[in-house]
Amino acid sequence: MKQYTVAILGATGAVGTQMVQCLEEQNFPVGKLKLLASARSAGKKVAFAGGEVEIEEARPEAFEGCDIVLGAVDDDIAREMLPKAVEAGAVVVDNSHAFRLDPDVPLVVPEINAEDISWHHGIIANPNCATIIGLVPTWPLHKVAGVTRMIVSTYQAASGAGAPGMAELEAQIAAMGRGEAIPEPRAFAAQLVSNLIPQIGGFKEEGYTSEEMKLQNEGRKIMHLPELRVNCTCVRVPVLRSHSESVTLEFERDITLEEAREALAAAPGVKLVDDREAASAHDRYPMPIDTSDQDLIWVGRLRRDISNPNTARGITFWCCGDQIRKGAATNAVQIAKLLTK
């Protein structure tokens, strides 16, 4: 099997660290791994495949000889650095928002549109975490009945703000447990522990935030549905790393609950957890506590949308998935594996 030189740009962040683990878990054919980060992290060593890899400072010349580069940095750094990786001959899978809506850049969820990688021009974009988690179970239902509209509320974990967000929530929980004053928020707009924050991203047109618009704009591109209508509300919740979503779908054609369950049970990347009679809550429906540190999107609470005038064309479900893994790192490594075939 051919071996590849793989670089991770932003290797010390929450997503970059998870990318290292995913490469090993998925038996990716890594001949050489290059870990690129800021100058202050250079020289540190990271365990990988029974050995250690020394972190290098992220500079354009570090991309020389790389076959695949996984990007796990902010938009501005991605725009500056990743085109240089392409110039050096690498194919980039980027987790930032920088290139997602560029018409010349495929935006890929392997369970949905793996074939789109065939027309890349050096960069393939990894979608937003909430987009991935919501669309993986939506896609098999779309194939049955043709989705036309989505009404979604997301309950997004602290990990969506990276390692600083997770550290802030943990510090606030610890302070509350000790009866101390809660530290002032830095990663979020307000205190997160014992609270919900109904804003993720900046406010855009008609009062929607940038995070809320991603599900519509990215969903249209990924599913090749330019007329898809999405109403999304994104909320930050005091959960460490697994996002949850309430999703209501409207379809072109009738769909029964039995058809929906069969499609979800058979869908790649999905685990159906929908037993209302189960003795344990863990078997009745998905919850963040059960869906963290794994790669499947768990789906449950499947039911009719009784607000739809044509109830045969409306389905509501609840889903949860690990934001750092399938919502980011795992999806990127899955894309990279497609490049090796």
Q: Which residues contact 262 (CB under 8 A, 6 or more apart)?
A: none
Write out pLDDT tens, residues 288-324. Answer: 999 999 999 999 999 999 999 999 999 999 999 999 9
What would the pLDDT profile of 83-116 be if each residue is shown by its tens digit?
Answer: 999 999 999 999 999 999 999 999 999 999 999 9
User: Any alpha helices (H) in 224-329, and if so which ranges?
Assistant: 257-266, 281-284, 288-291
Q: Tens digits of per-residue pLDDT, 118-172?
A: 999 999 999 999 999 999 999 999 999 999 999 999 999 999 999 999 999 999 9
Look at residue 131 in the predicted model and tell me its pLDDT.
98
Active site residue 243: yes
Residue tagged active-site, from 142, 232, 243, 319: 243
CA distances from 42 to 8, 57, 254 (A): 13, 5, 57
> Are the C-beta atoms of residues 98 and 74 closer than 8 Å to each other?
no
Would you state the structure tokens that stand for residue 188, as one six-digit string?
A: 């979020």
What pLDDT sits at residue 121? 98
Task: Note the pLDDT of residue 1.
Answer: 82
Choice among 129, 234, 319, 320 that is catalytic? 129
State yes or no: is 120 an active-site residue: no
- The single-letter code of the amino acid at 263 is A
From 7, 223, 229, select the one nearest 107 (Cα to Cα): 223
3-class DSSP state for residue 264? helix
**Pairwise CA distance, residues 280 & 304, whole Å:** 23
Check pLDDT > 90 for residue 205. Answer: no
pTM: 0.97
φ and ψ at 129, to 5 degrees?
-60, -45
Q: How far is CA 194 from the centre of its chain?
A: 25
